[in-house]
Structure 1
């Protein structure tokens, strides 16, 4: 199973910035982000303590479901 970080890198470099691309860019630039993690709890806690923008936790929750669906198929 690939990490959530690896999944999120698909959102980097978007021509029009979205909340998904903002989160992906922030994750890429944050050297302390748990890049190898596949744990919802670990990533969620990290985001709550280091929130990069107001909607980040909600965006993460939405993307987590997509991540799980992608990894299960």
Structure 2
């Protein structure tokens, strides 16, 4: 059976930690409450465009870039 890559959102939810000051953890905490987040997406451009237009809770797109890089890195293991 082929490996089904989990979505970025699914991975991001594993980074949630309400006690953490880590930027990716805070991003995950806030994305959890974003009802319109593209939860099934794997696509960088789709996610990036959505966040640029809709995620006032994300202080810097660099945080998304770092999180997306970590998402890709962990999935290649």
Note the residue ranges of structure 1 that are not aligned, 5 or more in a row. Answer: none
Q: Is the 8 A contact 2:16 2:25 kept in 1?
A: yes
Q: Output the TM-score relative to the length of structure 2.
A: 0.82
Q: Which has the higher helix share?
A: 1
- Cross-structure match for 2:59: 54
| Deviation beyond 6 Å, 4+ runs, structure 1 | none
Flag the structure with larger Rg.
Answer: 2
RMSD of the alignment, in Å? 1.3
- Cross-structure match for 1:63: 67
Note the residue ranges of structure 2 that are not aligned, 5 or more in a row. Answer: none
